[in-house]
Amino acid sequence: MGMVVLSGSLPDAKFWLTVHYFGAILIPPTFLHYIQALIESNSHRHRKGEIYFWYALFFVLLIINFTNQHILVTVSDSKPFFPFYTDLAPLYPLYTLAFVVCVGSAFLKLVKELNREHRFRRRNQLKYMLLATCFGFGGGGTAFFPVFDLSIYPFGMFLVILYPMLMTYAIVRHQLLDIEVVIRKTLIFAGIFSFFFGIFAFLSFLVTDVLQRAATLPIRLSLFAVGAAVVALVGNRLHTFLVNATDRFLFQRKYVYYKLLKENSKQLSLIKSLDEMARQIVAFLIKQGRIRNSGIFIQSQDQRHFELKYPLGYGGKVNRPSLILEADHPLIKLSVERKTPLVLEEIEKGRLNTAGANQEEVIKVMRRLRAEVIIPSFLGIPTNNQGKNNDEDYQLRNLLVLGPKKSDEDYTDEDLDVFFTIAQDSAIAAENARLFDLMLKERESRLKAESEARLATYGKSTVHESKNAMAGLYDPARFMTIYGYEDFKKIYQRFLQGKMPSGAEKKFFELVETMKQKGQLIFTKADELLIIAKTGEGTLSSDETEFEKFNVKMVWDAAKAEAKTGQCKLIRYVPDHFYPYGNVILIKRVFINLMNNAAEALRYDASGEIVLRAQYEEKEGKKGTLFEVSDNGPGIPAENLEKIWEFGWSTKPKPQSSDIEASGRGQGLWRVKDTIGNIHGGKIWAESELTKGTTFKFWLPLKDEGSVQPA
């Protein structure tokens, strides 16, 4: 169009106008076709008719333009701002409308695809494509203003220069188009052509400028035959050389794979902790693997769930995902079934046979993790990503989460092979780390047991001595409250009554009453100290036959130290001077069972709370103590409130360990009920409301009813 504007005469302007519209008329259908191919719509096959329609329409307009310019476009020398410019013709409004509708349809397709797409690299491609075409068509569209005699200078045409700039950036940086093949083929062709041309150019120079007259026709033919033989002998090798050269210097692999595997194996061999292994692998994938974000799911010790560990590349701690997948989660089941890397694009496009697995849930998790690939890590299968020889015994141990590459390239089969090998190495490292952790834990347990044994011995000795010391308080207290008090009263009656001034007599009785009160206080405190001492002695021993008053706070704290409550918050509301009656060891086990049961319901939720409340309460005319252990978990269905006490009944999966007290055997609450009901003569029941939590209540009778104090 620039040549039209700059033309010196009307005939020249008409010529350049025809040339301009030869290309401009076909822009809309070509752009629509390109967008349709770019988004790779699943319904692309059914929309070919739409593409054919627009090509046919604009091709007709193109024919009209060449046969009769006065019907579609013409040129004018009286337009605003320009000496020569396109003028309105009878069919030009139709062309303008078709242009807007066709290009608008392409834009809508591009925007819809951008809204549907979630992959990082693909979204960047579509964003730059959309931005570039906005500048291209938005700026170029202002060229229509002078055609319709609008006195608005088409400044937007200067923005068209941004279109090739943005498209070039999108192609080079985000691989909008695969120009690698084009460049490679061009360079190879140029190299071969230059070589062949050089041979024959040299022969021609030799014949014409060196040999001159001596080069007869036979000699010339012989020289060219030699040249052809050289081409035949060298051509194939030259092609191979140029292919390797372009691959090596221009399109070399982003990873030196053997170095990557060597470095990974070296680092994993030095790992001695499971947490250290998880942290090391994720950092390795981010740095050495050049991946934007990564993480690793580690199987729990009880093999019931997989927890996401050390997610990196998500933009800080606030944005890091926190996720626990149960063993029956669709992603876990699909990983076990396929035993190969799970590629998000293949799942979304239905290329992966998932055998009825919940694909939507798998896609949802992968999108949440911004993962393009999930690689399972097994023990007992060969290190390849094709899932061969899967009849071998295997165990899923980890899941590697791979986000987009920093280069924004797709993962190739070679990439997946390498990362699959790394995943299997991580399974071996994880097993070694587990064994090392187990050894350390056993050692710590042994040292702890020895320490606790020494502490128990020291504690018992301390309690024994404390009890002896407290026993020495009873005689002085008894003297102050009984014998001394009575003696002072007798002395007053026999010797002092009526002989003392009234003020002195009052002071005398105040002193005697104070002595009695202080003696009673010594009695009370000595009793409390004795209960605390006996409670401490009970928590350090295994005597299940002794029943006595005990300190609830001490028993609860001792149970809390042994229970597996994870991140749950434990809260205790117990009144002062609260002393139930029972066996310390058994009640501590009751608390531990109830804590563990609540923690299981909360699934170690950081917002979970386990609360203890206690008070004195009468039941059926008997005085006793009431305990409430509540949680804010999902609750228990009403039809299960009675079943939970049955031996062997449990909603949890059966444990893999042989520990009889392991969660899932259906014995915990049965033991609790037996302890409270049969051994202590109390009562226990549960109250629950779905989504609001569960409360376990148990009541223990008091042996000495006279000792009950108000809460």
- Domain limit, last residue, from 395, 417, 438: 438
* Shared-domain flag, residues 469 and 550: no
* Shared-domain flag, residues 142 and 172: yes
Q: Tell which residue, 394, 363, 399, 362, has the closest CA to residue 381.
A: 394
Contact 414, 386 (CB under 8 A): no
Per-position b or e across 37-69, b if 16+ CB within 10 A of its CB: ebbeeeeeeeeeeebeebbebbeebbebbeeeb
Q: Tell which residue, 554, 649, 553, 551, has the closest CA to residue 597.
A: 649
pLDDT of residue 704: 57
Q: Tell which residue, 260, 282, 487, has the closest CA to residue 401.
A: 282
Contact 613, 578 (CB under 8 A): no
pLDDT of residue 624: 94
* Shared-domain flag, residues 468 and 574: no
Q: What is the CATH number of the domain that holds 672?
A: 3.30.565.10
* Shared-domain flag, residues 281 and 324: yes
* Shared-domain flag, residues 593 and 668: yes
Query: In which order are the strands placed within the sheet that holds 373-379?
Result: 324-326, 305-312, 294-299, 395-402, 373-379, 342-343
* Shared-domain flag, residues 563 and 699: yes
- Identify the helix (H) or strand (E) that includes residue 130: helix 120-140
Strands 342-343 and 622-631 come out as unpaired
CA angle 481/487/492 to nearest 5° reads 120
pLDDT of residue 683: 94
* Shared-domain flag, residues 23 and 87: yes
Strands 609-619 and 569-573 come out as parallel
Contact 452, 419 (CB under 8 A): no
* Shared-domain flag, residues 597 and 703: yes
Distance CA 87, CA 100 (A): 18
Q: Tokens 């149970």 label which residue?
A: 559
552-602 confidence digits (pLDDT tens)? 888 898 888 888 888 888 999 999 888 899 988 889 899 999 999 898 888
- Domain limit, last residue, from 177, 195, 210: 177
**Phi, psi at 14, each rounded to 5°:** -65, -40
Strands 548-549 and 569-573 come out as unpaired
Query: In which order are the strands placed within the sheet that holds 609-619?
Result: 569-573, 609-619, 622-631, 693-701, 683-689
Residue 210 has what DSSP assignment? I
Chain-centroid distance, C-alpha 662: 29
Contact 622, 267 (CB under 8 A): no
Name the domain count of the chain.
5
Amino acid, single-letter form, for residue 319 = N
Amino acid, single-letter form, for residue 112 = K
Contact 98, 57 (CB under 8 A): yes
* Shared-domain flag, residues 274 and 382: yes
Please tell me the chain's helix, strand, coil percentages from 3-state DSSP, rounded to the nearest 5.
Answer: 60, 15, 30
HSE at residue 181, side-chain half, CA atoms within 13 A, is: 2
Strand ranges (E), 443-578: 548-549, 569-573
Q: Within 10 Å of residue 672's Cβ, how many Cβ atoms?
A: 23
Q: Within 10 Å of residue 364's Cβ, how many Cβ atoms?
A: 13
Q: Three-state DSSP class for 603?
A: coil
Distance CA 318, CA 562 (A): 32
Q: Tokens 């293949």 label which residue?
A: 346
- Identify the helix (H) or strand (E) that includes residue 504: helix 502-539
30-56 confidence digits (pLDDT tens)? 888 888 887 764 444 446 788 888 888
437 Cβ contact partners less than 8 Å away, ≥ 6 residues apart: 273, 274
Strands 324-326 and 373-379 come out as unpaired
Q: Tell which residue, 312, 311, 332, has the closest CA to residue 376.
A: 332
Contact 296, 309 (CB under 8 A): yes
Where in the sequence is the domain holding 555, given as residue range(s)?
542-707
* Shared-domain flag, residues 401 and 461: no
DSSP calls for 460-488: HHHHHHHHHHHHHHHHHHHIIIIIHHHHH
Per-position b or e across 601-625, b if 16+ CB within 10 A of its CB: bbeebeebbbbbbbebeeeeeebbb
- Domain limit, last residue, from 222, 249, 276: 249
**Phi, psi at 310, each rounded to 5°:** 50, 55
* Shared-domain flag, residues 517 and 602: no
Contact 609, 568 (CB under 8 A): yes
Q: Tokens 């969660």 label which residue?
A: 663
pLDDT of residue 708: 39
User: For the chain, give me the number of helices (H) and strands (E)?
Assistant: 21, 15
CA distances from 40 to 45, 345, 376, 503 (A): 10, 12, 29, 109
pLDDT of residue 672: 93
Amino acid, single-letter form, for residue 37 = A
Distance CA 274, CA 380 (A): 19
- Identify the helix (H) or strand (E) that includes residue 582: strand 581-582
User: Structure tokens of 56?
Assistant: 């046919």
* Shared-domain flag, residues 394 and 514: no
Distance CA 261, CA 275 (A): 21
pLDDT of residue 172: 67
**Phi, psi at 536, each rounded to 5°:** -60, -40
Distance CA 281, CA 375 (A): 13
pLDDT of residue 213: 57
Query: Helices 274-287 and 413-478 sit at what angle, rounded to 10 degrees?
Result: 140
User: Structure tokens of 450?
Assistant: 């020895």
pLDDT per 10-residue tile (average), the chain, 711 residues: 72 78 84 82 57 86 75 77 80 88 89 79 79 84 81 80 78 62 55 61 59 62 67 65 56 51 59 71 79 88 84 84 88 87 84 68 89 85 48 73 81 82 74 69 73 65 67 73 78 78 80 82 72 68 75 87 85 90 89 91 78 93 94 89 82 46 63 91 92 92 57 34
